[in-house]
Amino acid sequence: MEEVKKPRSAMQKVEEKTKPSTYARAGVDIRRENIAIKNIINWAEKTFKFREGKTGQPLAGIGTFANMVDIGNNKALVVCTDGVGSKVIVAQELEKYDTVGIDVVAMNVNDALCVGAEPITMVDYLAMEESNAEMAGELAKGLYEGCQQAGIALVGGETACLPDMIKGINGRGFDLAGTAVGIVDRDKIVTGERIQPGDKVIGFESNGIHSNGLTLARKVLPVTMWTKLLEPTRIYVKEVLTLLGEYDIKGMAHITGSGILNPLRITKYGYHMDNMPEPQMIFKKIQELGKVPDEEMYRTFNMGMGFCVIVGEKDAHAIKKKYGQAFRLDIVGTVIQQHHVKIIRGEKTVLMEE
């Protein structure tokens, strides 16, 4: 009898391919993506005139981690949206769906924090290849856990079955995204404008890879390590709101796509990072197995630091002394005049520019 061969899984196909050494070779070219984004922004900012002089007038240009609209009484509503990218493929392959809901909450509320807002609510969007009640239930559990950690309410969303658009592993394809809303006093919005050379960078440890760089990671790592890719993104809401209430926070950055370049988005200055946290083993394995250059690693992944705040030197030392261990944070660097990021790790120096 002729042997019936089972179709190869996505994991088997990954192992058969040549391992890429850069994010672009893996299929995600951040530079080309930024060009596409600029085209969208040009049209989106033209819509601002539709709310001029009305409730909901935008308060900043597009490009910050979250944007704000005026709602009167010295209050601003903060809105941002994000998904979990190709992390959904890892969840499908391992048939484990109870953590990516945490990720979609984290990716949104952490962005909202960057302008000084308190996240208060969000909605989600779930698109599935086929209706799958069990998978949807597991995803919902993760959303609940993420909302609990962030202290927000999930007030609604949308679910769609799109077999002609969503394709996955054995009919388990799905995509998950969300939109978060926060609130902040207009006079307490954090913009980064007050950042000056000499200010200190406080870095919060990450839980691992979080939700960026998965396209490269999946194509480099053996399938036996894929469970590490499902470690959920750390939610920084409670820690950051505590610091906002006690110290003068000048700027904040969520370390997502573009990695350690992200803090350049909030200031014309740059950073000398000489005390970054030790990258978790997952990053070391990605670099080792993919032969990924140092600059590419720091340009693609969070490398152990998932969020950072910029404060004056005096506040930096006070924060470290009071919250260093409890909040898993440390002083990781200093603001410098040049608009680049210089990372010092032992005898290695990595210099990165936008």
- pLDDT per residue over 166-213, tens digit each? 999 999 999 999 999 999 999 999 999 999 999 999 999 999 999 999
Average pLDDT, the chain: 93
Whether 6 has a pLDDT exceeding 70, the answer reads no
Whether 235 has a pLDDT exceeding 70, the answer reads yes
pTM summary value = 0.91
Residues with Cβ within 8 Å of residue 209, at least 6 apart in sequence: 217, 228, 229, 231, 282, 283, 301, 302
Whether 3 has a pLDDT exceeding 70, the answer reads no
Chain centre to alpha carbon of residue 55: 29
48-82 tens-digit pLDDT: 999 999 999 999 999 899 999 999 999 999 999 99
CA distance 152 to 78: 14
Residues with Cβ within 8 Å of residue 197, at least 6 apart in sequence: 269, 334, 335, 336, 337
Look at residue 20 in the predicted model and tell me its pLDDT: 84
Check the CA dihedral 255-82-144-184 and report its sign: positive
Which of 179, 182, 206 has the alpha carbon at shortest distance from 308?
206
Look at residue 1 in the predicted model and tell me its pLDDT: 37
**Which tokens belong to 202?**
């406080």
296-332 tens-digit pLDDT: 999 999 999 999 999 999 999 999 999 999 999 999 9
How does strand 251-254 pair with strand 305-311? antiparallel
Look at residue 13 in the predicted model and tell me its pLDDT: 52
All structural domains of the chain: 53-188 (3.30.1330.10), 200-352 (3.90.650.10)
123-138 tens-digit pLDDT: 999 999 999 999 999 9
Q: What is the pLDDT confidence band of residue 86, given thresholds at 50, 70 and 90? A: very high
Q: Could you tell me the end-to-end alpha-carbon distance of the chain, in angstroms, rounded to an integer?
A: 60
Q: What is the pLDDT confidence band of residue 19, given thresholds at 50, 70 and 90? A: confident
**Contact (Cβ atoms closer than 8 angstroms) between residue 282 and residue 229:** yes
CA distance 308 to 296: 20
Residues with Cβ within 8 Å of residue 163, at least 6 apart in sequence: 129, 130
CA distance 246 to 189: 15
Q: How many residues does the chain have?
A: 354
Coil, helix or strand for 44? helix
